[in-house]
Chains A and B, each alone.
Chain A
């Protein structure tokens, strides 16, 4: 079955992660510039948190793959996205019911490989 990985990472980590994903056999992905916060509500370790939430720039990377690739891809992203401090990001795994390649009518795994 197909799964979608949505991960939120620091912008500085994008290049190394995307290269590694292509090397791992991922054939397509999209990125979106987003702003986001986690538990710290946008304040770094050294800042004193105020009431206002500080949305910080992140990169959202989305890729759909066969579920047998999910664990390896998660391991890869985790390794490369870590920053040594808070704010490294999140990875979400979602079920994908189906996929369709627009140009050829291929469906399912054939649509993403």
Chain B
């Protein structure tokens, strides 16, 4: 899928925030505080590559707002990572944590790199160097990173290890999304996809539709997309389209995402899966389906293609997949958009559970984790939905109003120092 070079995610995040904050008539002081990330760190990391040369990578860690609690946010490894993207993602994390009521502030990190062209050894050395460069910002009580695009539990393990070696003792609480063997939580890998599934099930329920008749198209088949496709398939939905960075597949009769996943593991992409029509990412977004789930990168539904979206429900499993202009078009088409800060909050909810279990040093069963996740996602969905009906605003605006008012309240009650 193409990254829209004109799109500045930070401008997009600011526009989403400003438009709601202005309508809420937020006090100018608080409005300005929330518009500005608290701190941004840019680091240069020299890494010896396998072939011997030293390459210098640029990395970022941004704390957007920590009034409600320690900073929380994943780390992204991708060639398009910029400071502006990390700032936007950090701001979306602040709103996301506030919407679902977990006691965290928003943060995000990233390294401009292409891990798909790097060996595992190079990725490990880069990860450890990045950890040491941001080490003063992170810690179990101050900033707790997690996985994001192109990062996984192994990378979290390297971060935890580097931090712990530096401290001289084990600090499992410094990251979430860890492997089970070192304090990870059951249910964490599937959490974002599972949370997305819960929001879709709720949306379908509120719209009075039958889950079994819904045709679902998923853009992206990674951490989130593959899980939500499998879970909705388990719920009885028909998965008619799936795409990844290399292209997409379509079969109106429905695909088995478990089998597609096996194909991807063997071939590196969903493309070429049997008995499907090859489609582009662009075509997937315009597929004649009932539920569209962008689960890849930001800025995928824009002014130029929003008019072609045919789904009744768009569940934003990715961060920022819909530009503000596209949002307006989808609203006019009366498409029910479940905003990213609600839809993909499952990950941070189970990260919160991992952190809590780690603090207690007592781990719950997977069933318990999933039931607690369902409870939080349903309550958050109900709150946002009821507010959207009460104030006659979109789900995104309702979610933002809820989030912003909670963060603003934290500021008001804490006051301004000095």
Contacts and interface: CB of A to CB of B under 8 A. Distances in A.
B374 interface: yes
A34 interface: no
A98 B374 CA distance: 11
Instruction: Sort chain B's interface into a size bin.
Output: under 10
A109 B378 contact: yes
B375 interface: yes
A31 interface: no
A32 interface: no
B375 A1 contact: yes
A108 B374 contact: yes
A97 interface: yes
B371 A97 contact: yes
Contacts of B367: 97
A103 to B, nearest CB: 13
Contacts of B374: 107-108
B375 A108 contact: yes
B205 interface: yes
A75 interface: no
Contacts of A108: 374-375, 378
A110 B379 CA distance: 12
A43 to B, nearest CB: 44
Given A1-B375, A97-B367, A108-B375, 8 more contacts: A1-B371, A97-B371, A98-B371, A107-B374, A108-B374, A108-B378, A109-B378, A110-B205
Interface of A: 1, 97-98, 107-110
Contacts of B375: 1, 108
Interface string B368-401: 0001001100100000000000000000000000
A44 to B, nearest CB: 45
Interface string B345-376: 00000000000000000000001000100110
A98 B375 CA distance: 10
B169 to A, nearest CB: 36
A60 B408 CA distance: 49
Which 9 residue pairs spanning A and B have beta carbons closest together? Answer: A1-B375, A108-B374, A98-B371, A97-B371, A110-B205, A108-B378, A109-B378, A108-B375, A97-B367
B387 to A, nearest CB: 17
Nearest to A106: B205
A98 B371 CA distance: 8
Contacts of A98: 371
A47 to B, nearest CB: 48
Contacts of B378: 108-109
Contacts of A109: 378
10 contacts: A1-B371, A1-B375, A97-B367, A97-B371, A98-B371, A107-B374, A108-B374, A108-B375, A108-B378, A109-B378
Nearest to A110: B205
A12 B285 CA distance: 63
Contacts of A1: 371, 375
A57 B292 CA distance: 58
A74 B394 CA distance: 38
A109 B371 CA distance: 12
A108 B367 CA distance: 13
Contacts of A107: 374
Contacts of A97: 367, 371
Nearest to A109: B378
